[in-house]
Amino acid sequence: MKPGDKDKLNQCLDILDTTDLGLSMVWLWTWSTIKGLMKDEQYKFTKSEDEVWQMLTEAVTKGYGFSLEYGAEQNYEDIQDWLLNNEIMIDLMFEDDEEDDDNLTSDLQNAIIK
């Protein structure tokens, strides 16, 4: 920690206090996690940042939420699952496996036809 970090954190708190987010630290953590996943080369996002924000807002309005009650790791997994299940994000590691499966299926179908 640097001496100036306290002032930066205070500025963040001042900003959070002006929002109407009930559990602002949870939403800050959640959005930070999403932004981090957007930068992660293992994942490909199918939506823009604004679209993700809109989908998150709609999900929360309908009662969906995230929590830090069970720790940061559980929160990360919940966010990751939400993004994947809603086809907002694709795990490229598994996408390659699906392409391989599709190619294998095509190869088998071609072999059977011949």
Q: Domain for residue 3, yes or no?
A: no
The pLDDT value recorded for residue 63 is 87
Q: Domain for residue 44, yes or no?
A: yes
46-54 LR contacts (CB < 8 Å, sep 24+): 46/87, 46/88, 46/89, 46/90, 47/88, 51/88, 52/83, 52/88
Q: Domain for residue 12, yes or no?
A: no
* Tens digit of each residue's pLDDT (9 = 90 or more) over 31-72: 999 999 999 999 999 999 999 999 999 998 898 889 999 999
Average pLDDT over residues 3-32: 89
Query: What total of structural domains would you count in the chain?
Result: 1
**Full domain range(s) for residue 30:** 24-113
CA 98 to chain centre: 21
Q: Domain for residue 31, yes or no?
A: yes
With beta carbons less than 8 A apart as the criterion, state whether 29 and 79 touch. no
Give 44's contacts (C-beta < 8 A, 6+ positions apart): 89, 90, 92, 95
In the numeric block, which tokens belong to residue 89?
Answer: 């994000």
pLDDT over 70 at 102, yes or no: no
Q: Domain for residue 1, yes or no?
A: no
* Tens digit of each residue's pLDDT (9 = 90 or more) over 65-96: 899 999 999 999 999 999 999 999 999 998 76
